[in-house]
Amino acid sequence: MGCDVAPGSPGDLRPVFSVDTQELLDEDIGQDLSAQGLKVQRRIHQLELEISALKNRQNILRCPLNRMLPPELLLRIFLLHPASTGKSKRVHLSHVCRQWRYIALESGAFWGDLLFTTTEMTELMLTRSKKALLTARCDKLDWRHREIIATILSQRGRLHTLEISGPDDILPPFEPARPQMARFLKSLSLTKISIPVWKSLPLGPSVTELRLDCPTGTNRPTVEELFGSLSEMPLLSTLHLSHLLPKAAPGHTDWTKKPLSLTNLRELRLQDISTRVNHFLESVDISYFATVFVDIDDATIIRESLNTLIDVLGVSWSLDEEHPCRWDDEDFHVQEISIENFNSGTSVHSIHQPSIAMAFSAETVPDLTVSFRRPWITSSVAATTFLAVLDVKLNLTQTLLYTNLNSCDQLNGRIWDQLGSFDNLKTVTFTKSPVYEAFFSNSVLVIEGSDDISPEDYFISLSTITLMECDLGRNATNDDVLTIIGEYLAIRADESDLDLTLEITECRNFDEEGFNEIKGPYPRTKVVWDYFEDMSEDGSDSE
């Protein structure tokens, strides 16, 4: 296509048509209008193809990546893009330009990370994924997805990740799989979903994460089925089993003659009644480096079952023959305990279960967490019962250094006697816990000699008390919080030679003037705080 000078504008350029187009325009229309119309339509189609090719060329020129990188490398970059993070979906990359769309359509791996926005979209991606490995993640399945889930499970030989949550019986009844059918599967997570038949699960030797959180009425595997499957997953690092431990206790089988070794396990979570949990732990050897969570479902629990839990866990969790029980290893003592979510009956529906967590090193992630079924602990007996067991089995009296009471508003009064008897306990932290008032009040009674416990045996090493995110204005007995704390500090200063630090961090209804008054008279007592919300005009820290 050339350019001529436009009439009347000597300096302007005017585009002219291509030769083919100009010839078509110069032809006489004549009598055969249909033939002329056909020629015009054919020429329009040719020009549309040219424009499309030019636009594609323009996109390539605008995006240097298309010129610099081969399609194989571009695909690798595309696959690093998250498949479904909000509005930024990988599928949108296929709409950028013709070359990107061509790369996407030709690659099965591009579509293997399935989206569940609509069943039609899922089916389309499943078709386009060809023979690529499949990743299926969705925490909001409903009945519309039942058929597509069945289709995905029918191709378990391609499964890489299956992590779903939905209606109880969303899984269709399918035939048991052949051994190691899902040989490429890395992660299987079923949440709130019943398992029709254990043998039908898509399991295989490559599984590293297995999370099965099933309703209480689900079908349970037999001892042989469960341990047989676990023995075929040597790379397993995460294992969650909820309401799936076998009903029958292990008998004289191959699984009980020698415990199953879970050497690569880094996280174990079991939820069931204590007898089934204990039977499972008796039959496995857990990695020394694993973090263990036990959720006890017993409606009523007795001290003997907790004793058994600690005994079997100590043996199962041991390092080697030199230390057949973990609790006998002198290098690992429980230094920190967190008592969490022991609340009154008004909090029964809280999603957080009452629990006691313990760590072998201070200020680290807990190594063992034991949770209790909420209806059973309205009187908080679970906390005192379990602490008594731990003290006997793990010698907390000599090893415990730190205790955190987190989100607790109801604890048995005996808890203070137990904590106070731990000789080396030096720090007590109350996080979002109104029970700090009971601690101060009970401590005053003990120090004054109004209690059966001798003051000489009560929190003898305590040097730091921390109130974190507590409400200093809340008080069920209408007693003044400042008065209770001030009374404790005064009597503590008279009776103890140990320095004490009271730290107040991000607490509501903080009375700065009042705390300034009570912090001054005691030279061995240090009261420090920082501000929260609108407690200070300038927001600066104070001491």
CB-CB contact of 364 with 353 (8 Å):
no
Which residues, other chains included, contact 355 with Cβ-Cβ below 8 Å and sequence gap of 6+?
Answer: 339, 340, 341, 369, 370, 371, 372
**C-alpha count within 13 angstroms, C-beta hemisphere, residue 347:** 20
Q: What does the CA dihedral 297, 299, 302, 306 come to, rounded to 10 degrees?
A: 10
> Could you give the CA distance from residue 465 to residue 419 in angstroms, rounded to a whole number?
13
CB-CB contact of 509 with 501 (8 Å):
no
Radius of gyration of the chain (CA): 35
The pair of structure tokens assigned to 224 is 């042989």
Identify the bridge partners of residue 525 per DSSP, sorted by sequence position: 500
pTM of structure: 0.81
> Could you give the CA distance from residue 433 to residue 415 in angstroms, rounded to a whole number?
14
> Could you give the CA distance from residue 154 to residue 167 in angstroms, rounded to a whole number?
20
Q: Residue 275 in 3-state DSSP?
A: helix
**H helix intervals, 88-157:** 98-106, 119-128, 146-154
**Would you give per-residue pLDDT tens digits along the chain (543 residues)?**
445 544 445 555 555 788 888 888 888 887 788 888 898 999 999 999 999 888 877 776 776 666 677 877 878 877 777 655 544 466 777 777 777 888 888 888 888 888 888 888 889 889 989 999 999 998 888 888 888 888 888 888 899 999 999 888 888 776 655 545 789 999 999 999 988 888 888 999 999 999 999 887 678 899 999 999 999 999 999 999 999 999 866 554 554 457 899 999 999 999 999 999 999 999 999 988 899 999 998 877 789 999 999 999 999 998 666 667 888 877 778 999 999 998 875 444 456 889 999 999 877 789 999 998 766 555 578 889 999 999 999 999 999 999 999 999 888 888 999 999 999 999 999 999 999 999 999 999 888 876 677 778 899 999 999 999 998 885 545 468 888 898 898 888 877 778 899 999 999 888 888 888 887 677 788 888 875 554 444 444 444
